[in-house]
A = this chain, B = another copy of it.
Amino acid sequence: MKKPVKIDDIAALANTSTATVSRALNNKPGVTEATRQRIIKLAQELNYRPNRIAQNLALQKSHLIGFVAADLLNVVYIDFFRRVQKLVEPLGYQVLISDSEQDVAKERHNIEVLRQHRAEGLIIFPIHDWHSETPVDHLMELRLRKFPFVVLGSIKGYGLDCVTSDEIGVAREMTAHLLSLGHRRVGFIGHDPENRCVNERFEGVRLALREAGLDLDPAHVVAHREGWQEGLRTLLQTAGRPTALVFMNDVLALMAHRLIGDLGIEVPRDLSIATFDNGIWTQHLRPTLTTTVENPQGIARVATDLLLERMETPDGAPQTRLIPQQLIIRESTGPVPQ
């Protein structure tokens, strides 16, 4: 590979100093239009490509925003990444994406690397490690050093800048929808108290029921563990079973779909089902599934704004911002069976 052209080469050929070349190429004042054109032409001919490394060192700016995703296999993060990229590109920033693969150690490592690269701000989807005393101590350290970053997801009460999608609200809305269809016995499939997001969805359901003067019957809750499918099967075979089921997410609903069909239960005639996250299959199964979508655009926009704000004023008070989700009603929820 040939050595890349540098600014000195251009300066030599143009009979100027490197200073002039730099000013010419960066559209800074202090160069006649003639010289500027001469230099630009020369740069093109030589196929000059500024060395970002040197540039960043000289400018004391990395033009880098770090994006630490909990698990890139989830498309949500990619979509988010794209939107952020698009928002900060006009400001001259590059977004560097890194993947924690559901592993706190990797998350720490990624943050460390990004700091070594002198990222100017970080957007973090953290792994929740509920088994450790201080699940977010490395985040607290960032905060302590006034390093600008925002956290996505439901970390509350730690005094961090944070943007979160409103799980509770949409779960509540979904349940209200079921109630309006006449359902009174609503079950929750795949409960996992250790998972904050699932927990919030669960809370939302319970909240809506309570508002209608109902209780969420513990017998109608199937936990998310090995063998949950058996749990679901027996639940569906008991008398007085729920007339509507809320699944913890769309993958679970997909897995249950076949099982429900095999039991000879027809959705929504015999049973209504609803779930979260709008995975592509939810609109192609029969029946199509009632589900929810986040507002990714809103999340990205708000998170980016908040980060930029924090980069401006690293001392500002931490903020929490809540982004509403949308309920999509499809075929799988219908009137309660007579």
B-binding residues in A (CB < 8 A): 1-2, 4, 49-54, 56-57, 62, 72-73, 75, 78-79, 81-82, 85, 94, 96-97, 99, 101, 112-113, 115-118, 145-148, 251, 254-255, 257-258, 261-262, 280-281, 284-286, 314
**Of the residues B1, B4, B85, B257, contact of A314 by C-beta under 8 Å:** B1
Give the shortest distance, in Å, between A210 (CB) and chain B (any CB).
Answer: 34
Beyond A75-B75, A146-B1, whether A116 also contacts B49 by CB under 8 A is yes
Question: Copies of this chain, how many?
Answer: 2
Given contacts A81-B72, A118-B4, contact A53 B50 (CB under 8 A): no
Closest Cβ–Cβ distance, residue A262 to chain B (whole Å)? 8
Of B51, B52, B62, B258, which contacts A284 at CB under 8 A? B258
Question: Which of B96, B118, B148 sits near A96, CB closer than 8 Å?
Answer: B96
Whole-angstrom CA separation of A281 from B282 in the bound complex: 10
- C-alpha spacing A281/B279, complex, angstroms: 10
Nearest CB on B from A3, distance (A) = 10
Contact of A258 among B49, B85, B147, B286 (CB under 8 A): B286
Tell me if A51 and B118 are in contact (CB < 8 A): yes
Would A145 and B314 count as touching, CB distance under 8 A? no
Given contacts A78-B78, A280-B251, contact A1 B147 (CB under 8 A): yes
Q: How far is the CB of A255 from chain B (nearest CB, A)?
A: 6
Contact residues in B for A145 (Cβ distance below 8 Å): 1-2
Contact among B62, B79, B284, B314 with A53 in the assembled complex (CB-CB below 8 Å): B62
Known interface pairs A1-B314, A145-B1, A280-B254; A51-B116 also in contact (CB < 8 Å):
yes
